[in-house]
Amino acid sequence: MEFFNSIFNTIGGIFAASGFASFFVGEGWKNLIMIGVACFFMFLAIKKGFEPLLLLPIAFGMLLANLPGANMYHPEIWQTFLPDGTLNSQFWSEAANGYHVIVGQVLSHGGLLDILYLGVKLGIYPPLIFLGIGAMTDFSPLISRPSSFLLGAAAQLGIFIAFIGALLLGMSPAQAGSIGIIGGADGPTAIFVTSKLSPELLGPIAVAAYSYMALVPVIQPPIMRALTTKKERLIRMETPRPVSKTEKIIFPVLITVVVVLILPDAAPLVGMLMFGNLLKESGKTERLAKAAQNELMNIVTIFLGTTVGATTTGTAFLNINTLKIVGMGLIAFCFGTAGGILLGKLMCVLTKGKINPLIGSAGVSAVPMAARVSQKVGQEEDPGNFLLMNAMGPNVAGVIGSAVAAGVLINMLG
Amino acid sequence: MQDFGLLLLNKDFTAGGNIMLNVTVCGLVIVFMVLIVLVAVIGIFGAVMSKSKKSPKKENTPDNGRDNYDNEDEQTIAVITAAVYSYYDNNKSIKPVIRSIKPSNKNSGRGVWQQAGMRQNMQPF
């Protein structure tokens, strides 16, 4: 009998120490739900093709972080304060300009995903992603029609409307700023701002931002149709003028100097975006441009996606704040689209019908999907109407606009 | 970090009462201000560039009574001429001579070839 008891005790002990048992202790059930969410995201990425390059790493990071005992990510490392309100002094130190994570401690005690998460925490990955985006982006439509910058600015309206909404829902100003930036429709920007202002919301905000970006073709068209008349949608625009190589080379330098001098907080994003673009346009650094837009971009995307996914542990994700973020994120997207369209209508009147207001909605970044939506909605009315190149102007202006808005929020709320 | 904000806003910016209005109004104003500055800078830059592009062209244009074609145009002319010759190939009584080639602006102002090119260019998107 003692023999059987010993066997049962051993098996019971192994089970109690396994990850399975952890699902039934305390808030362990939340991990189980998150594993389900991770599988759902993997399904969306693989089967439905929703932003698979990002959604798949995010989903797998989510899966790894929610497997009890895997010890790849430790949320407790990233909490500046302990539950009793004292400083988490093992991993955090206090300095004159705020609290800083002790990198050496993270390297000694953290798991793989904790170490990779340092790239998010220290604000390294988003600017590197911007470097790759810059190396892939053609700014010619914006150079040929500089007024597109205004549409890129108007589409940032959603950021500030969502900021107000989040404040009214009881979020702190820093959290509200992070939620608002979802309206910039730019994943790296949202992650950059959130990691600076309210890192505790990083997971839900990143997931909301990327989900809504994938849903741009669903969210935008009804708003575009509601705010424009058929006559406006039928407007054919002139093809943008050709842009010389010299202009393309000087443009990134000019933008960097002007934006960074006005708003230094936007330097990491705008600076790297424009550096990437200069690598592409110079014509002399083809290898570097290719490395930025392929290898570097892919590596950083894997690191960024898995670590952002890892922050969505059950306790961090399954709470009322996530619902507020999802709701406000949608409002941000809708108002951003509306802001761009309304300014497009104004520009249409001022130019006596030369600008199709549909290109305004492309002012939310989401390159090139938002521009593609403008093209698609325009062609529904007139199949011979080609708005894509005209919409690419506001679209890339939106990238710069959301980086500027990010700088403003970090400056005011950081 | 808040120096820039404090330059623009009153002293109780961080007090909390006005933060909603302050951040929203100042945020939108700053975003528009920065991008309006960029419109002006890029507009002036574009104007300067197109001026500097036009002026040397005028000086170098040889005026010999013929249209000027660069390499690309000559290729296009060769392709169009070959297409016209091949079209009349079966009819030996007609010997076409190409005297001028002008773009057609019928209907939409965008010909079939232009539309096809446009579609091809936009395919990656």
Q: Which residue has the tokens 């305004």?
A: A360
The predicted-structure confidence for A277-297, as pLDDT tens digits, reads as follows 999 999 999 999 999 999 999
pLDDT at residue B65 above 50?
no
Closest CA to A370 of A212, A248, A197, A241: A212
Q: Do A153 and B41 touch (CB under 8 A)?
A: no
- Give the pLDDT score at B12: 47
How far, in Å, CA of A188 to CA of A304, rounded?
9
Task: Output the six-digit token pair for A104.
Answer: 């050496």
The predicted-structure confidence for A137-177, as pLDDT tens digits, reads as follows 999 999 999 999 999 999 999 999 999 999 999 999 999 99
Q: What is the b/e burial string over A46-80, where b = at least 16 CB atoms within 10 angstroms of the residue's CB?
A: eeeebbbebbbbbbbbbbbbbbbeeebbbbebbee
- Give the pLDDT score at B71: 57
Higher pLDDT, B91 or A200: A200
Closest CA to A402 of A168, A162, A240: A162
- Give the pLDDT score at B54: 67
Total Cβ atoms within 10 A of residue B113: 9
| pLDDT band of A326, cuts 50, 70, 90 | very high
For a pLDDT cut of 70, what percent of chain A falls above it? 100
The predicted-structure confidence for A218-247, as pLDDT tens digits, reads as follows 999 999 999 999 999 999 998 888 899 999
Q: Assess contact for A258 and B37: CB atoms under 8 A.
A: yes
Mean pLDDT estimate for chain B: 71
Nearest residue on chain B to A394, judged by CA atoms?
B35
The segment with the largest mean pLDDT, out of A16-30, A92-106, B18-32, B100-114, is: B18-32
Ordered by start, the domain boundaries in chain A are 120-413
Q: Do A410 and B1 touch (CB under 8 A)?
A: yes
- Give the pLDDT score at A125: 95
Cβ-Cβ pairs closer than 8 A, A with B, add up to 123
Closest CA to B32 of A228, A126, A223, A160: A160
- Give the pLDDT score at B121: 67
Q: Do A246 and B49 touch (CB under 8 A)?
A: yes
Nearest residue on chain A to B30, judged by CA atoms?
A408
Task: Output the six-digit token pair for A194.
Answer: 């959130």
Containing A109, the helix (H) or strand (E) segment is helix A103-109
Which residues partner with A94 through β-bridges? A99
Q: Do A254 and B41 touch (CB under 8 A)?
A: yes
- Residue range A314-330: average pLDDT? 91
The predicted-structure confidence for B88-120, as pLDDT tens digits, reads as follows 776 767 777 888 887 665 555 566 777 777 676
Q: Do A386 and B38 touch (CB under 8 A)?
A: no
Nearest residue on chain A to B117, judged by CA atoms?
A386
Mean pLDDT estimate for chain A: 92
- Give the pLDDT score at B70: 55
- Give the pLDDT score at B13: 47
| pLDDT band of B7, cuts 50, 70, 90 | very low
How far, in Å, CA of B22 to CA of B2, rounded?
13
Residue A405 carries which DSSP code? H
Q: Write out chain A residues lying below 8 Å of B49, CB-based.
A: 244, 246-247
Q: Write out chain A residues lying below 8 Å of B112, CB-based.
A: none
Q: Do A414 and B1 touch (CB under 8 A)?
A: yes
Task: Output the six-digit token pair for A377.
Answer: 């909605």
- Substitution target from A159, A258, A404, A412 for chain B, most B beta carbons within 10 A: A412
Max Cα–Cα distance, chain A, nearest Å: 95
| pLDDT band of A213, cuts 50, 70, 90 | confident
From chain B residues 33-62, the ones with a CB under 8 A of any chain A CB are: 33-39, 41-43, 45-46, 49, 53
Q: Write out chain B residues lying below 8 Å of A157, CB-based.
A: 28
The predicted-structure confidence for A331-385, as pLDDT tens digits, reads as follows 999 999 999 999 999 999 999 999 999 999 999 988 888 999 999 999 999 988 9
Nearest residue on chain A to B53, judged by CA atoms?
A244
